[in-house]
Structure 1
Amino acid sequence: MLADSVDSGRDLGAGVALYVDGRCVVDLWGGVADERTGRPWSSETACVVFSATKPVTATALLLAADRGRLALDDRVAEHWPEFAAHGKESTTVEDVLTHRAGLPAFDRPITPEEAADADAMATQLAGQSPEWEPGREHGYHALTFGWLVGELVRRCTGIPVQRFVAEEVGADLHLGVPADRIPALARISAGRPLKAADRQADEQTLARVVAAAQDPASPTNRSTANPPGSFNKPVVLEAGWPAAGLVCTARALADFYRRLVDGTLLARGSVREVVRERVRGPDRTLISETAFGLGFMRPSANMWLPEIARPHGFGHPGASGALGLGDLEAGLAFAYVPNLTRPALGDRRAFALVEAAYAALG
């Protein structure tokens, strides 16, 4: 199926991996890692996965909680006193992890150079006023999520989130890549617009989403386009933006979910609680429906999965079409990591691969 996707042009290059009951049963790759040079995708080609990053960063904070460094119902300001300004004093750790903190976007333009300074990003967010009362509504924190969670990790452990992820979550999960390793990464390319959307969304919702994406003042645009960043640029790749900058292979991302599913990263009982749905409904940022556990998405309009995967699937998609997925009941851990971006509405590449994975389980 991956070969067909590459041959048809739906993919440029990609990796896909699948674990079942702790055993790697699929580890495939193919296509082109760099469209400019024709460099082929290899078994070790890593690529940025955009927002599929979020569960990895969230797991760093969940590990800190599991070790007693904080509690999910703690007020953020108990660990980060400066955060209490401008009506944020009651914001909880759970509010941050469920996109209810009211800080979906920065209130001024942020440069990629500023975004590389975690202290500056923490100071900026601590000084902002929330766009809604924290805990009352949810709206996707596309980029701010990472700096909010990352600062809590640093405050509670004394370790920057990039280092904590490398040391405690997975050595093959890279938040920040040294300059000399960047030439070996897959290079992101933009795919041609699709003619029609395949997802189950009505025309009115589709029109609203498209209009929001094209309006610079919309919550959608403000949350996803500030700071602006080409994920091929060293200033972004080296910084390792903790909401969207994870670089890894499909094998490494699937193994992250494998360790969640089999209880070696967090106890299985803890994972069940982490992925339990806490919010669902129209998203103030993304317009259409989203659903969240603690840092993990649940199946919704913004993580569209085959029907068989919807009862127990958890994970997160990325803007490139990337997807990380776990299922405790099926014993399944899956990842798809491409380098050709497609419009989010209508991109069925990951959907088709997940459908094939479940079908193979019999």
Structure 2
Amino acid sequence: MSGFVEGQVDPAFRAVREVFEASFADGANAGAAVAVFVDGRPVVDLWGGLADTRAKRPWLRDTPVVTYSCTKGVTATAALLVAHERGVGLDDPVTDWWPGYGVGGKDSTTLADLLTHRAGLPVFERPVSTADAADQRAMAARLAEQHPVWKPGTEHGYHALTFGWLLGEFVRRHTGFTVGEYVRRNFGDQLWIGAPPEIAEQAARVGAPPAADQAWTDPAPISAATVAEMARAFRDPQSLALRASTNPLGSYNNPEVLAGGWPSTGLVTTARALARFYADLAAGDLLPADVLADAVRERVRGRDAVLTLESAFGLGYMLPSENMILPETARPTAFGHPGAGGAIGLGDTANRLAIAFTPNLRRDWLSGDRRAYNLIDAAYGAL
């Protein structure tokens, strides 16, 4: 039964379950999971619906699913931990550790620029295949030889796919590991950036509703003019927005894509594991408290050169903005990253809260849709 919800909820957080159940009743979800931790303790662990609507396969307790750009928060944490442990300065030139990177005026680029989407490399200039994308060295070499779209550090624009391979090269050059390998060794064995065959087989099948249902259904607080500008950009094959998000292009139901370990968008995990990651992060178990505090400090905010709407970033973590719309109660202290399919991973050190929502049905084409918003609102309301 597609509307059936299983799992446990602390009585104080029963409103989260009510919101979650309602999302199946009104057809907003096909299959999904949500998890909430407070003070490191699980208070919500729910799942339901269908992992595969075609095969009528139910969503089980440990069903993983690709979480798209939620991956970026995990990848950024890996880079921050490596920088801390290896004593690499955030404002040191990338060419200090990647000598060939300085082509075309990129020699002033810093690690902070990579983390804040200011590198000026939001697109791959040549087509990238699925096989190419599985090779961290090759992807890095492509980016090293490119000229930037803007002078690094002068503006920010969402590096939808390139973000992961840029930071992946930092991790690889300092540890010898891919981001996926480093994450599983240090952060959790259910965070797969590079899913083995048995995990890809268990993963929920992602899909989208009819095109008419994919429009942004509730634009507030984004202006209608901004929504229209974004819509035009995603219809224009020459726009940075479309080019940044469609090369490499591959189905996230393809085991080869899931195995490729795309470090911007390829994280396959459960809501429980993603929320646990943010709970551990907020508790200081993954990064020292001062490193995390600096990382969630706002570094950039304003019109995004790629997406055309407002975005805001700390060091790799997205902050509340038009590109991550959060309830008012969450805005002052929440950080994390949404994913294009509606997923989100969120941490909050002030409220000792961590939340993850992982659906398999893509709805609104802006990341962070109302399903996540409503669940986050209910969780904060229970504190």
Which TM-score tier does this pair reach, normalised by the shorter chain?
over 0.9
Specify the SS of the correspondent of 2:69.
helix
Q: Which range moves more in the overlay, 279-288 or 107-116?
A: 107-116
Matched pairs, number: 361
Q: Which residue pairs with 2:4 in the alignment? A: none
The superposition leaves residues 122-159 of structure 1 with CA deviations (integer Å, 9 ceiling, x where unpaired) of 11000000000000000000000000000010111122
Cα deviation, 1:27-69, whole Å, max 9, x if unaligned, reads 0000000111010001100000000000101111111111124
The separation in 1 between residues aligned to 2:220 and 2:65, in whole angstroms, is 25
The structure 2 residue matched to 1:217, chosen from 216, 233, 238, is 238
Q: Which runs of 5+ in 2 are unaligned?
A: 1-18
Task: Describe the superposition over 1:77-104 as per-residue Cα deviations: whole angstroms up to 9, x where unpaired.
Answer: 1111111111111100000000000000
Q: 116, 119, 123: which is aligned to 1:101?
A: 119
Name the SS for the 2:335 alignment partner.
strand
CA RMSD in angstroms comes to 1.1
Aligned-pair distance for 1:269? 2.0
Alignment of 1:66-215 (within 5 A): 66-192=84-210, 193-194=213-214, 196-215=217-236
* Structure 1: unaligned runs, 5 residues or longer: none
Residue of structure 2 aligned with 1:312, choices 326, 330, 333: 333
In the alignment, what sits opposite 2:23?
A: 5
* Alpha-carbon distance in structure 2 between the residues aligned to 1:84 and 1:336: 39
What residue in structure 1 maps to residue 298 of structure 2?
277
Match of residue 252, structure 1, among 256, 265, 273: 273
For the residues of structure 2 that align with 1:113 and 1:16, how far apart are their CA atoms? Answer: 33
Percent identical: 53
Equivalent residue number for residue 63 of structure 2: 45
The one-letter code matched in structure 1 to 2:233 is: A
Deviations, residues 2-51 of structure 1 (Å, cap 9, x unaligned): 12111221000001000011111000000000111010001100000000
1:191 CA displacement:
2.0
SS in 2 for 1:337: strand
Q: How many angstroms apart in 2 are the aligned matches of 1:263 and 1:178? A: 29
Specify the alignment match of 1:335 in structure 2. 356
TM-score normalised by the chain length of structure 1: 0.98
Name the amino acid aligned to 1:257: Y
In 1, are the aligned partners of 2:130 and 2:260 still within 8 Å (CA)? no
Structure 2: distance between partners of 1:180 and 1:307: 41
Which residue of 358, 363, 370 corresponds with 1:348? 370
DSSP-derived class of the 1:307 partner: coil
How far apart, in 1, do the equivalents of 2:241 and 2:218 lie?
A: 19
C-alpha distance in 2 between matches for 1:153 and 1:161: 6
In the alignment, residue 8 of structure 1 is paired with which amino acid? D
Counterpart position of 2:380: 358
Give the Cα separation in 1 of the matches to 2:201 and 2:280: 29
Q: Check the 8 A contact 2:51/2:58 in 1, yes or no.
A: yes
* 2: CA distance, partners of 1:302 / 1:352: 16
CA contact (8 A) 2:67 2:269 kept: yes
Q: Deviations over 1:260-291 (max 9, x none)?
A: 11111112222111110000000000000000
Distance in 2 between residues matched to 1:166 and 1:330, nearest whole Å: 27
- After TM superposition, give the deviation of residue 232 of structure 1 in Å: 0.4
Report if the CA contact (8 A) 1:253-1:335 is conserved.
Answer: yes
SS at structure 2 position matched to 1:214: coil
Q: Which amino acid aligns with 1:118?
A: Q
